[in-house]
A and B are shown apart, each in its own frame.
Chain A
């Protein structure tokens, strides 16, 4: 019987010829990432009593969730992290100036095809965009990994998603993945490895692949992956970091579920409060009024996303009753946005520029919602109270839909604005 991507990769990491779903393996990660959460990881690590981390070269820590620090608790956590990385000689530490962890790890070439990457963040599934197996774990689990270099994993079942067709104008990978999460449901891929394939995937650039692997978490995926191809190779060549090992599923691999989608007639999608799988086509939203629009996050904070938003907004202004926040996912995105004039366009249109980081995505700081307020965001979660008041509401959409809505002051189909 052939093996899926996850089965092949985990078999190799476990030193076996083959594994099957449900089997428990013990493996060592190639990358173990944490962020502001490392403050808790360090506390737990100290309790285990091991003096040194197993391999400092495999640990990467960008600070991103609350940067610059919004409270003394966070400031003290950051301080403890800075001391820890020095003491443990962890070279890959990115202080508050770099951006969102997943964006930074991919941009800087920390993730290669065939790697097993763990992160104290659920959207670690993002790394499938370059053919790696990325999955999220909690702080205590990461402390044990730092101490021992090992983790037990249950081999997941796999779901294959074949995506055909071409994106219509103003419809994007974010719309596709919202549609898929809506279709499969919040538990639809629970603990499964999601493999994307097909011409629409092959035609997607790394940014779009990043978005779909990222948001796969919202259907419960253990990991998500796009096959390594010419697009991946060119991206990695540009970084000069080597090519890793490409794993491909065998033709006779066994899948728990197979989905076939065609995106040629897909409309812009919106996830409605308070669940990511509460997805509707934008035209069903009847122009819901908004107070805030957020463009950013690991899901959609890349230069391509900012460019799309700027293109929708060109010659227009943010609606006077709307606060639009632009949060580039990294310093690189910010600098390119400045160089190309994209950020100037957005700011001149009335958007507020926020420093690279997670910003308001998780309700930490930089754009909290008041009672009863409504936000449309290019982020990844809209659970009750996610971005502020428990009576606020968050809708999730593509950057184009976010931009169109910011201009009109209500949820708007971007095809109607251009």
Chain B
């Protein structure tokens, strides 16, 4: 993937998997249905307000809590183009990449944007383009980019198996 341009939602620190995707919805296994509950624990209106291409900008420890991958899948299925957070809980980090949901690590971004801003993430150059300047970020390791670019772990694994690795 090259770039993502989208409308920003700003969240705080320690956004946990219970507010991203409440436990009562865990029996759902279809991504399109999961999308109906994305971030519902923060605001019941969130799922209907999220639009394809939106970008979540958050503080530290995003996705902390449960290993439920629905927390990542629901955002991806709702059309979230990327999450930019100060840091990630490790299980969420892996789950997001495995679902093909792009993640950027940046402590600065949240301090420079507000809800409704439009930003562009240039993954190739490792830059977030804001209206008043750029923020640099460290790109993911190549093998993680491979998983993301394949569209997630399922596609990546199928390729590996087909390649005889």
- A48 near B67 with CB under 8 A, answer no
- A191 near B157 with CB under 8 A, answer no
- A48 near B19 with CB under 8 A, answer no
Does chain B have a CB within 8 A of A40?
yes
Q: A187-B61, A383-B18, A384-B18 are in contact. Are A47 and B154 (CB under 8 A)?
A: yes
Does chain A have a CB within 8 A of B152?
yes
- B95 near A384 with CB under 8 A, answer no
Q: A49-B158, A187-B61, A363-B23 are in contact. Are A138 and B89 (CB under 8 A)?
A: no
- B28 near A186 with CB under 8 A, answer no
Point out the residues of chain A lying under 8 angstroms from B28, CB to CB. 73
Does chain B have a CB within 8 A of A319?
no
- A122 near B65 with CB under 8 A, answer yes
- A383 near B16 with CB under 8 A, answer yes
Closest Cβ of chain B to A220, distance in Å, is: 6
Q: A48-B154, A143-B154, A384-B18 are in contact. Are A138 and B95 (CB under 8 A)?
A: yes
Total cross-chain contacts (CB, 8 A): 129
Point out the residues of chain A lying under 8 angstroms from B69, CB to CB. 40, 138-141
Per-residue contact bits, chain B 108-122, to A (CB 8 Å; 1 contact, 0 not)? 000000000000000
What is the chain B residue whose CB lies nearest that of A388?
B24
Does chain B have a CB within 8 A of A147?
yes
What is the chain B residue whose CB lies nearest that of A361?
B23
- In the assembly, what is the distance between CA of A301 and CA of B63, in Å? 26
| Contact with B90, one of A50, A124, A222 (Cβ below 8 angstroms) | A222
Q: A122-B66, A140-B154, A147-B157 are in contact. Are A191 and B90 (CB under 8 A)?
A: yes
- A186 near B14 with CB under 8 A, answer yes
Closest Cβ of chain B to A410, distance in Å, is: 25
What is the chain A residue whose CB lies nearest that of B156?
A144
Per-residue contact bits, chain B 54-70, to A (CB 8 Å; 1 contact, 0 not)? 00000011001111111
- A137 near B67 with CB under 8 A, answer yes
Q: Number of A interface residues, CB 8 Å?
A: 49
Does chain B have a CB within 8 A of A354?
no
Closest Cβ of chain A to B47, distance in Å, is: 14
What is the chain B residue whose CB lies nearest that of A74?
B27
- B27 near A122 with CB under 8 A, answer no
- In the assembly, what is the distance between CA of A384 and CA of B143, in Å? 35
- In the assembly, what is the distance between CA of A152 and CA of B160, in Å? 13
- B154 near A384 with CB under 8 A, answer no
Closest Cβ of chain A to B110, distance in Å, is: 15
- A71 near B27 with CB under 8 A, answer yes
- In the assembly, what is the distance between CA of A300 and CA of B64, in Å? 21
Point out the residues of chain B lying under 8 angstroms from A137, CB to CB. 67, 91, 94
Does chain B have a CB within 8 A of A206?
no
Does chain B have a CB within 8 A of A44?
yes
Q: List 18 A-B contacts (CB under 8 A).
A: A39-B27, A43-B29, A120-B67, A138-B91, A139-B69, A140-B153, A141-B69, A144-B154, A148-B161, A152-B143, A190-B61, A364-B24, A381-B66, A383-B16, A383-B41, A385-B19, A385-B41, A386-B23
Known interface pairs A24-B143, A144-B154, A383-B16; 4 further A-B residue pairs with C-beta atoms within 8 A, sorted by A's residue number: A43-B29, A66-B26, A73-B29, A74-B27
Which B residues contact A (CB, under 8 angstroms)? 14, 16-19, 22-24, 26-29, 41, 44, 60-61, 64-70, 72, 87, 89-91, 94-95, 98-99, 141, 143, 152-154, 157-158, 160-161
Which A residues contact B (CB, under 8 angstroms)? 24, 36-37, 39-40, 43-44, 47-50, 65-66, 71, 73-74, 77, 119-122, 124, 136-141, 143-144, 147-148, 152, 186-187, 190-191, 220, 222, 275, 362-364, 381, 383-386, 390
